[in-house]
Every structure is written in C-alpha cells, then in structure tokens.
Amino acid sequence: MTSHTILYLDDVSVVFDGFRALNNLSLFVDQGELRAIIGPNGAGKTTMMDVITGKTRPTGGTVKFRDTDLTLLDEAAIATMGIGRKFQKPTVFDALTVFENLELALKAPRGPMACLRWVLAGEARRRIEETLEEIGLTARAQDRAAILSHGQRQWLEIGMLLMQDPELLLVDEPVAGMTDQETEHTAALLRRIAGTRSVVVVEHDLEFVRALDCKVTVMCEGSVLSEGTIDQVQHDPRVIEVYLGR
C-alpha cells in the first residue's frame, strides 16, 4: 500500500447463504487514477461497490479509504467522506426537478437543521448551473426528473455525482442506454475528472472501456482474474476463456 493508494481492498469476501459473491478479492486504486472493471455477469462487480459504499458488510477482509476502515461506517458516513456512487440502474428522485436533484447532491452540510436553514447562495447556484451545462440538461432544469429519458437520467445521475465533489467516484455502467455520441462525451468527461480524483468504472461495453484508456481489472467469480491495459487483458487466455466459455 503506497502513500497515494486511496482505496484498499484486501482479501475481501462476501458470503450470502453459502454463495461466495466475493472471494478473497484484493484491489488497490491510486489517487487520481481512472480504473475500469469488467467481468461477466455475477462476477461480483456490484457487490464490490456495495462493500465499498457500506451497503453490504463483508464477511471478511479489509476495506480502507485512505486510512479509514470503511467496514465500520454506514452509507451516509462513507458518502460524506468523499466516495460517490452512480448506480447501474439510474436512480434519481422522480418527485424533484432536475435542478433540485442536483441541489440535493451538492456538497453542503447534511444535517436536518442545516437543510432546513439552507439558502441557495450565488456560489452554489453557479456550480449547479455549471453542472447543468456539463450534463446538457440546462433546458430541463425545472422539469421533474420523472419525465426524463433514460439517457438523460444517466446524465443527471452523473451530474449528481459531480455535485458531491467526491474524491473517489464509483460508476456502475454509466453508458447503458446512451447513444454513441453520448457515450463518447461520457468517456471524455470521466477522463477529465480523473487526475484530480479517482474514478472506478464498471462497464460491459469494451469500446467504451477502450475509450477510457486506463488500467483495466477483470473480475470473475468474486476475485480478480487479470489486470493491465485493455489490450493486455484482451489477450489474456484466462480472460478469453471466461468470456468465450470453456
């Protein structure tokens, strides 16, 4: 574990009723790194994210964000520490407008009294508007999220992630349901974000992963199968075996 390792998973296992969703998984992500994770269905990608964000308690192993043991914290505490997550199935708040969705995500004191006293000041408004611009939803700011298209919901969720201003972003299948153009835009966005913060992207779309141009981890049956550049892993016989069948 180097001094700039930001996320540290060592020997993590998760067992559901005898089924090992994660099997002695070890994974390290550096500060400012962009990392793609691929793997077949049931490889444990989403479970890994659940473990990092506190949704699922690991059966065993170490999970650390910098020097903090994440297994002791709940989702909210982990999120406020600076880990943001975008879900596989976009979850935005349908009853609220696009603007309000972003406002909720905006990094600010989270306590009930603070929320009650919250006044949207110039700086915050400017940041929300910037983000709206970035995700291309400026025109729809006052629309309720319920009426957005699938792609737009994806964007909105990415926007919310940005508003949180996290140090580590966990992004689960960000481009599902997006057009090619949108996909490209997303890849560019993620690349830009990386550098100042760390990004972990889980994705099926290998073209998109290629566009990210980063280190790739291949997961299978709850542990790491292979790691390297996209080309390296694509030629790894074990990976080929997993993807093309035995």
Please state the closest distance from residue 18 (CB atom) to other proteins, in A.
9
Instruction: Give me the least distance between CB of 239 and other proteins, in Å please.
Output: 26
Is residue 217 within 8 A of residue 227, CB to CB? The reply is yes
Beta partners for 197? 194
Q: Which two tokens stand for residue 246?
A: 């035995």
Nearest C-alpha neighbor of 200 from the set 177, 167, 157: 167
Closest contact distance (angstroms) between CB of 47 and other proteins is: 10
Q: Among all chains, which residue has been given the structure tokens 């298209």? A: 149
**Distance in Å, CB of 162 to other proteins, minimum:** 12
Identity of the residue, 28 or 87, whose beta carbon is nearer to other proteins in the bound complex: 87
Q: How far is the CB of 207 from other proteins (least distance, A)?
A: 28
77 or 188, CB closer to other proteins?
Answer: 77
Measured from the CB atom, the residue of 21 and 239 that comes closer to other proteins is 21
Complex with other proteins: residue 49 or 242, whichever CB lies closer: 49
Shortest spacing between CB 177 and other proteins, in angstroms: 18
Buried b (16+ CB within 10 A) or exposed e, 47-73: bbbbbbbbebebeebebbbbeeebeeb
Task: Tell me the residue ranges of DSSP E strands in the chain.
Answer: 5-16, 19-30, 34-38, 60-65, 68-69, 83-86, 168-172, 198-202, 215-220, 223-228
Judged by beta carbon, residue 151 or residue 166, the one nearer other proteins is 166
Residue 105 is classified by DSSP as: H
Identity of the amino acid at 109: P
Binding site for other proteins (CB under 8 A): 16-17, 19, 53, 55, 74-77, 79-80, 84-85, 87, 91-96, 100, 103-105, 110-113, 115-118, 120, 144, 146, 160, 164
| Choice between 73 and 233, CB closer to other proteins | 73
If the CB atoms of residues 144 and 204 are measured against other proteins, the closer one turns out to be: 144
Q: What is the distance between the alpha carbons of residues 245 and 225, in angstroms, rounded to a whole number?
A: 15
Residue 36 contacts residue 206 (beta carbons within 8 Å): no
Q: How far is the CB of 213 from other proteins (least distance, A)?
A: 28
In contact, 232 and 239? CB cutoff 8 Å? no
